[in-house]
Amino acid sequence: MSTTPADWREKSANQTRLAFGQALLELGEIDIDTVVVSADTQDLLGIRPYIARFPKRFLEMGIAEQNAIGVASGLATTGLHPFVCAYAPFITARSMEQVRNDLAYARQRVVIGAAASGVSLGVAGGTHHAVEDLALMRSLPNMTVIVPADAESAYRATLATRDIDGPVYLRLGGRVEEPPVAESSVPFVPGRARTLRAGNDLAIIACGALVHMALVAADTLASEGVHARVLDMHTIKPLDRDAILTAAAETGCIVTAEEHHLTGGLGGAVAELLALEHPTHMRMVGLPDVFATVGPTPRVRAKYGMSVEGILGACRELLGARR
């Protein structure tokens, strides 16, 4: 029997990485083509229950990300639907050639569940930070790139990959709680942003861990008489062009927020679109062109402005510049 809705929510513990593992249990029940390939991540992604339930549909590759991608690609050619469980910094940088050639170029139906993204492994240092992964993944043709903001979104996104024809990069968090950002009744549709706050004074477009921070920032701005629209841009590719262009036309001010380098991530994708189709005043919150320092995740985020205060500062600066 698959886990009940209440059961998977409790076991996900407000963490996207664990919600992914819980969703694999449901996929294993409803789709016999589901197979899980792990790169030494049985605990990181909470997949031990899946292994116990479906031992013949599980492969452990060890710390060998290139092999994991190659094996997953081969399995996909037989009609199976592989889900690769891996650390975000290693499955992208270390196995970029395999992801590019074996998955994207060949358009294989493989889902990469990439946990410990951003600076969620803050104390491990730059080698374990995944802050260029969105730039790498969204540059690849045929690749879908999804960044859930909370456990509910991660669970729904994982189930939604059944209907995506081609490789998917699903960016997940680390051992850090990710508070809910929306009610479970709010639909999750890949490629379609969710409006979590209404407002026409400016728009905050965020993804991943910074969506919750954007909501807190919007509430603070509302107390000051500024009504900020908040978009959960959970899909970086394909980008929700309509939501972005509508926000630009109706607010005239865009702030993007992400736990990623300012180069090539969500902010870059939004700026590229607006530069061509609707030039708009912008500010971007994210990691500057540096390797992040070593330290606890909340402090690392705060040091580089990936925080409520950082988002508020960008919004106030942008509004002040327009006056």
Q: In this structure, are 27 and 79 located in the same domain?
A: yes
Helix (H, G, I), strand (E, B) or coil at 249: helix
Q: Confirm whether 131 is domain-assigned.
A: yes
C-alpha 220/C-alpha 217 separation (Å) is: 5
Flag whether pLDDT at 261 surpasses 80.
yes
Q: In this structure, are 216 and 163 located in the same domain?
A: no
pLDDT digit string, tens, across residues 81-131: 999 999 999 999 999 999 999 999 999 999 999 999 999 999 999 999 999
pLDDT digit string, tens, across residues 262-312: 999 999 999 999 999 999 999 999 999 999 999 999 999 999 999 999 999
Within 13 Å, how many C-alpha atoms sit on residue 306's CB side? 27
Pick from 254, 290, 252, 253: which is nearest to 270 by CA? 254
The count of structural domains within the chain is 2
- Read off the pTM: 0.96
Q: In this structure, are 207 and 284 located in the same domain?
A: yes
CATH number at residue 76: 3.40.50.970
Q: Confirm whether 185 is domain-assigned.
A: no
Q: In this structure, are 153 and 226 located in the same domain?
A: no
What is the domain extent for residue 294? 194-322
- Give the pLDDT band of residue 255 (cuts 50, 70, 90): very high
With contact defined as beta carbons under 8 Å apart, do 238 and 140 qualify?
Answer: no
Q: In this structure, are 42 and 118 located in the same domain?
A: yes
Q: In this structure, are 158 and 22 located in the same domain?
A: yes
Residue 118 DSSP symbol = B
